Structure formats: C-alpha cells, structure tokens
Amino acid sequence: MPRILERFHRFRQQRRPARPPRRPSSPAQRSPWFWPGIAAAVVVGFGLYFWLTSARILGEPIAVDYGPRDAAFVSAMGPVVGAEFTQGNRVRTYVNGDEFFPAMLEAIRDAKRTITLETYIWTSGLISDRFIAALSEAAGNGVKVHVLVDGMGTLKFKEEDKQRLRDAGVHVLTYGREHWYEVKPNINHRTHRKILVIDGVTGFTGGMCIDDRWLGNADHEKSWRETQVRVDGPVVRQMQAVFAANWLQTTGALLLGEDYFPEIRMDGDAIAHCFKNGPNESPESTRLAHLFAIAAARESIDIAHAYFVPDDLAISMLIAARERGVRIRVIVPAINDSRIGRAASRSRWGPLLAAGVEFHLYQPAMFHVKSMIVDRVLVTIGSANFDNRSFAINDEITLNVLDPAAAAEHHRIFEADLERSVPLTLEEFEARPLYIKATDHLAGLLRSQF
C-alpha cells in the first residue's frame, strides 16, 4: 500500500505544471504610494533641516524711539551684541584689490610681533603667492604668524602652497579640523570670517578673500567689486578676540599676552565695536545688529550686499521703516556667482519694491560688498551677508562704526556704485518671465541656506 501511494504521489507531481520561482515584488508593486511616500519623507526632512538652520531667536519686530545718533543707541547696541562701543578709533576705507591688497601686504611686512589671519577662500595664484611671500618673510623675521582657513573655502589652495608657509614657520590650520581625519559634526558650518590683525593694534576686515578674482579695480565681469576697511585703535582688541575664539576652538590653545593684546592708545575720533557671530557663539548677533540699526533709522538706509536675502522679519521691519519716511536704497549684483542664490534673493524683493524700497543692479563686475549705512552716521561692514547663512549658520565678524566722516566716505562710495548700476522698477520686476518667477519661488524655498 505505501508503494502504491508513493507512485500516485509521484504521478501527480509529474502532471502538475512547474511553478516559476517567486520573484520579490518591487517597491512600486508593493504599494502605489511607495515612491510618493519616499518623496514626501525627503521633502519633510529637508523642510525640518531648513527650519532648524533658520534664524529664529528674534521673532518680534524691534521698536525704538531713538536714532543711531542718540546716546541710547550706543548704550543698548553694545550689550545686545556682546561688545561695547570703544572710543578713539581711526577708520580707513579701501575700494577693490588695487587699494586693499597693497595696504594689507605692507602691514604684514611692517609687523614686529604677531600676525593673525583668518579667511574663507584662499585660492592658489598670483595674490596667493604675494601673501605667502609676505607671511613667510615675517615668520623668518621672528614674527609669530597664525593663519586659519576654512576647509571648504580652500579646496583650490594647493597643498604645496600650504607647505611653503609651514616650512617658513607659519602656523597654518584648517578651522575646526586641525588634522585631516577630523570631521566636524556640522559639515554645513563654515568660518566665513575675514580678519587680519597686525601686532594687535591694526586690523582689517570686509568681504575680501585671497583669490585672484579680487585683483584689479572691478573693471570687468570676472573681477569682484569689494570694500575693505582698516581700523586702528581700541576696537582692534575686539577683532583679535574674534580670531582667538576660532583659534581656541581649533587648537585648544589660547592666544594671550601683550604680543596679541597690547595696550592700545586712542588713535582717532570714531566710535566702533567689533563682534562675532556663529551658531556656537553669540548666535544671531549680526542679525540683531542689522535689525536694531534698521529699527533706529530715521532718515536713510543704504544697503550694499552681494547676497541680500532678507527673512520675513527683516522685510517687515524695512517696510515699517519706509512707512515712517526712511529712504531705503539697495545695491545688489547684476552679475552673480550663484544662480540659485540670485533667484532666492529675487524671491524676496517684491514686497520691498511695492513699499518703495529702491533697488539697483550693479553692472560692471561681480558685486561682493557687505555694508550698510544708516542715517549717514552708522556704518556696518564685515564678512556677513544679509542672509540666513551669515546670520545663523556661518561664523562671521562684524564691525560697526559710528562716525560721520567714515559714513560720508562710505556714502560717497555708495553713490559711485549707484552710477554703475541700473535701477529696477516694480513694473520691470513684475514683468519678468513666468519661468523666472517659478525659479525664484522654488529657490526661495531654500533661502535658509543662502
């Protein structure tokens, strides 16, 4: 009997058609919502990331009943940003590389004790070689030279050029990564600061980087229009402290002593302070300073910025300034090194143009200036752009100067830049093609990264 059952079972198996092996179903076959779900998760993830990296400490408009000329402004601004105003400073302004590169290189060659230099972009080339030669010569003369650069901004800074500096005795480090195998937890974080301090008594800041694009006088499309300032006086101690903070974060070592922080005599008539901004230190201080200055404006605000991407609060405060009769003029680049950044910026202009803010597009070169003049008395300048990346993500340095003479010089420069710019009307802005409007809107969704 068992044999009969076995034969019957074998017979049935032979008659039954073979089943093809099961193939695992693809994600799309499992559910029609699989890929839409993945896309939604990505969008939500990016949205959460953009929200987390957006400036949001200050959420309410600032309202003050005094202007930048009033003592109350000086008394309040210092504590707000963590750096009191100092008296007795002298400010000199340089326009484009033809002016500021020779001044900076001469200051390096005149150094006697210390040089501290921090920059975002350093690209090998002609001006790089000049800085390497000057810094190497200073180190050879016994000057202590410290150079701090950003890892992302120095991708085109050749290793052999860094080695030339090290061989000469210059301490060259990458911010936040003293060793190549160290990776910062927040890879989106940069040091965007531009600082040069000589002997603790003379300081330079602005938007300039060590790159051949800054050479010349901004007379063609591939050159960059820039403003840089030199300060002498007590405010330089604050500038040196900003550099020392990043040096400490990178090395664990403090720069101390009179070689770095000497006693400084009053050298001029300008009131000034210098302060840092970064996600891990004094968060949003530069944003607070800009918005405070806008709130205090009673007559005029002149903004010259390469990357002007105001957030909702800044837009509302600029419109409020217009409503109280403040004239606001903005110079932005017609030529931009970032198309997405340019579109993100444009996405914010509509309400401001409608409120009477005057926009001008700088034509001859890439406009990289980072300054604001309020009521012809306050000048704000440094490394920070008027955007969320500078206000909330990067490390930045900002110099505020309260001085009619310095403001008059910057106003003259602003007027000269206006002559090389083309005004943008509300009608022209609204008439831009539909595909440009769509691009601007989409880029505007990413504005927290610009």
* Active site (catalytic) residues: 192, 194, 199, 368, 370, 375
Polymer length in residues for the chain? 450
Are the beta carbons of 187 and 53 closer than 8 angstroms? no
7 exposure class (CB count in 10 Å sphere: 0-12, 13-18, 19+): exposed
> How far apart, in Å, are the Cα atoms of 302 and each of 242, 281, 287, 378?
27, 28, 16, 10
Both tokens assigned to 254: 């403090």
Which residue do the tokens 């940003």 mark?
Answer: 81
Report the distance separating Cα 224 and Cα 216, nearest Å.
8
Both tokens assigned to 6: 């076995």
Are the beta carbons of 54 and 311 closer than 8 angstroms? yes
Report the distance separating Cα 136 and Cα 140, nearest Å.
6
Report the distance separating Cα 228 and Cα 43, nearest Å.
40
> How far apart, in Å, are the Cα atoms of 286 and each of 35, 384, 398?
42, 8, 7
Both tokens assigned to 30: 């499992």
Task: Report which of 240, 225, 223 is spatially closest to residue 94, judged by C-alpha positions.
Answer: 225
